[in-house]
């Protein structure tokens, strides 16, 4: 269902002005160009204005829309605290989204999804080997049954609803497993050490990623080659039947997947949030998510 339009009153320099608009990103689509790409360019001031609100007014409109983005949190640490690296939240805020954390242990997933406009399945520790079918391995770490239970349930329901979803690293693996795929227990055991996907003991490292030129992911990022931060030791083994690999590292490790008949899911094996503040390409996944979430909120 498409939005029928609306208006917002914004104040600038002591004055107010009523602006008429359709879904904010769609207002700027030109010649079939992807809405999220246009929106990302506008936020960075690199796209020509084509009528309607100015860029600053557009940003204020989006701030008033305030799509709510849920981010799954890490499990309890040794102090009993839930946590999440701040760069996830900051990336959402830069894209004009409103971030809220979803801690493990929450069982009312339908109520959670009814309350948000988009979801980020974040990175972190490994999936329980019993669920990922990778088998026991000495390098498996930070397995959290409560987090697995929450994220598996959220992933199933978000995919069923086709809600806007950004799946990062562990999140990509969750999506693949939920849809019937499996995970390799330790990448070097299968692919060797040609490409370093994580520095010891557990530190991020950049490496090249090559994207299929005609993929949605390449269109969203605006590139077919990037060098993001990698921070994983596991990867897709058997690909889910409904998924396609659309990006790989030089050693062949799958780095992004797309789900058939679902344009609302962006799944990346790397960690865009780590360098999103300084690398516009890595900020784009968050802008895409907030764009999709804004359209969802405007049309509901």
**Alpha-carbon gap, residue 169 to 123, rounded angstroms:** 5
Sheet holding 209-211, edge to edge: 98-102, 68-72, 118-121, 165-168, 262-268, 254-259, 243-248, 209-211, 225-226
Which of the following is catalytic: 197, 207, 233, 271? 271
The residues near 9 (Cβ < 8 Å, ≥ 6 apart) are 16, 17, 18, 19
**Beta bridge partners of residue 259, listed in sequence order:** 243, 262
Give the DSSP letter of residue 185.
S
Q: Is 169 annotated in the active site?
A: yes
* Residue of 166, 159, 175, 162 lying closest to 127 (CA atoms): 175
Q: Is 134 annotated in the active site?
A: no
Which of the following is catalytic: 169, 184, 232, 233? 169
* Residue of 120, 73, 74, 75 lying closest to 93 (CA atoms): 120
Which of the following is catalytic: 232, 273, 287, 291? 273
- For the annotated catalytic residues, the residue numbers are 169, 271, 273
């Amino acid at each position: 269902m498409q939005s029928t339009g609306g208006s917002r009153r914004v104040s600038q320099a002591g004055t107010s002005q009523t602006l008429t608009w359709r879904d904010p990103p769609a207002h700027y689509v030109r010649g079939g160009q992807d809405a999220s790409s246009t929106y990302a360019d506008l936020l960075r001031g690199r796209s020509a204005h084509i009528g309607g609100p100015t860029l600053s007014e557009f940003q204020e409109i989006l701030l008033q829309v305030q799509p709510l983005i849920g981010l799954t949190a890490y499990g309890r640490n040794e102090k009993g605290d839930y946590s999440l690296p701040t760069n996830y939240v900051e990336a959402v805020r830069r894209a004009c989204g409103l971030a809220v954390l979803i801690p493990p242990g929450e069982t009312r997933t339908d109520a959670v999804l009814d309350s948000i406009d988009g979801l980020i399945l974040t990175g972190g520790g490994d999936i329980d080997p019993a669920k990922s079918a990778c088998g026991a391995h000495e390098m498996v770490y930070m397995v959290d049954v409560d987090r697995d239970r929450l994220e598996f349930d959220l992933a199933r329901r978000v995919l069923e609803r086709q809600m806007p979803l950004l799946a990062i690293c562990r999140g990509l693996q969750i999506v693949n497993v939920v849809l019937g795929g499996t995970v390799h227990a330790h990448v070097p055991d299968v692919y060797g050490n040609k490409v370093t996907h994580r520095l010891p003991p557990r530190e991020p490292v950049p490496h090249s990623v090559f994207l299929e030129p005609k993929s949605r992911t390449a269109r969203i990022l605006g590139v077919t080659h990037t060098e993001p931060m990698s921070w994983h030791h596991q990867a897709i083994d058997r690909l889910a039947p409904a998924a396609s690999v659309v990006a790989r590292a030089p050693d062949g490790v799958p780095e992004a997947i797309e789900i058939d008949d679902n344009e609302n899911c962006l799944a990346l094996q790397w960690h865009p949030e780590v360098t999103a503040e300084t690398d516009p390409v890595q900020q784009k996944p968050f802008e895409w998510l907030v764009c999709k979430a804004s359209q969802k909120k405007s049309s509901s």
